[in-house]
Structure 1
């Protein structure tokens, strides 16, 4: 327990960092530890380390005569060293005033930078999709994020064959689907766009905990009697399935295998799962090509 020593109707507090205290900040009630309040060199450290006297009521609530609107943000900054700033200029200015009162210099600096950006008309986009410039950059982005990742490899110029009649439309459908998913899940998933790789023309790759989990390849080779074509598909259901499965990697623990089994139409839960849009057509095309070659030789 922390020690309460009454002096002229006021109180000095000093206790174990793990001990909780009750705060009444302008009528807003908060419950936190002494360790949080004394974590940084601020006025709150002085108040809750016994160096300053504080007021308390008969129920044991420590009274702080400040507006409590932004005190939750103050506590979160003390806990984590950073905090999401309010959207409006007015709220940021109010938070600056509170941070100055509690002598939290880093938070004051962050708020002032945000206010300066707003004055200049700068805007932070809600959705960001990095464009991959090298394999090294891709590896760094995927390994450094705590989110699951989805990469769309889209590279139409990497094609020595001609396209089927529906390929161009399907290529655009893949791009549109990627854009929709990135807007919906940008706060939960890191989306990457790769336009420099030469391994495929259109391929989705899904990563969890920094490693490749699955992929959906949307291109296949079609063998016609006198020409070889490249076919591009847009298997939306398959892509949605993998996108939902990758959300299971948001937690630090590996997804439950039974849950993965239940959410997968394929039942492929161990290792990396792959999907090729038209494998059977490709195999049958190869067989026809071999058969025609044998007949010609005969």
Structure 2
């Protein structure tokens, strides 16, 4: 672009410089940029040429979303990491680009911790009492699907396919709960009934259908 030129920056640590990181503007000192042994130290200690525009902004072709966090880490040696894995991974990519090894390590450790502590994508409550069932169904605004399974019920005689049919119902319930867990509350009931396997469907706290 017109007005852009390469130059070497080397000045007093207290000297301020203007940075344009992918359109995100920052104003900081050479002392901050050269405080740690990183690529930024090489850029602002005269070892590398930098690109500037006609207004004196130093241009770095990176996403500037996390550059504020990068600067805070350079200033303080620590920084609050993002809450989400996605943003932590984005910050990790910037830390790797600027060769900030301590920040790379902090991001990688945070991602490993988040992976170990990751919330399950689906939770299916297991009913332990009629009171608990009533509380679960009445306290949610979601529609409810309940699967009752009672393998030890002796009301009916088992056929050669009874266990197979029971397992198919359980498998279907598991697939549905994984797919629709965000919109539907799925619960399992094993506390006993006159049925071996029964599906219950609830809306607004009331049973609307049952299939046994």
TM (norm. structure 1) is 0.38
Partner of 1:272: none
Q: Structure 1 CA distance, aligned partners of 2:5 and 2:92?
A: 31
1:90 to 86, 89, 104: 86
Matching residue within 69, 81, 85 for 2:65? 69
Please give the per-residue CA displacement for 1:19-74, whole angstroms capped at 9, x wherever unaligned.
Answer: 00000000000000000000000000000000000000000000000000000000
- Mapped partners of 2:9, 2:105: distance in 1: 29
Equivalences for residues 25-174 of structure 1 within 5 A: 25-121=21-117
Alignment of 1:236-275 (within 5 A): none
1:59-101 superposed Cα distances (whole Å, 9 cap, x missing partner): 0000000000000000000000000000000000000000000
**Aligned residue in 2 for 1:15:** 11
Q: TM-score, normalised by structure 2?
A: 0.53
**Offset at 1:122?**
6.6
CA RMSD, aligned part only?
1.4
Q: Distance in 2 between matches of 1:75 and 1:122?
A: 29
Measure, in 2, the Cα distance between the counterparts of 1:93 and 1:9: 32
Distance (whole Å) between structure 2 residues aligned to residue 22 and residue 9 of structure 1 = 15
Task: List structure 1 runs of 4+ shifted beyond 3 angstroms.
Answer: none
Instruction: Specify the alignment match of 2:136 in structure 1.
Output: none
Does structure 1 retain, via aligned residues, the 8 Å contact 2:5–2:53? Answer: no
In 2, the alpha carbon distance for the partners of 1:75 and 1:51 equals: 20
Contact 2:11 2:45 in 1 (8 A): yes
1:202-231 CA distance string (max 9 Å, x none):
xxxxxxxxxxxxxxxxxxxxxxxxxxxxxx
**Structure 2: gaps of 5 or more residues:** 120-212
Count the aligned residue pairs.
116
* 3-state SS in 2 of match to 1:103: coil
In 2, distance between residues paired with 1:96 and 1:9? Answer: 30
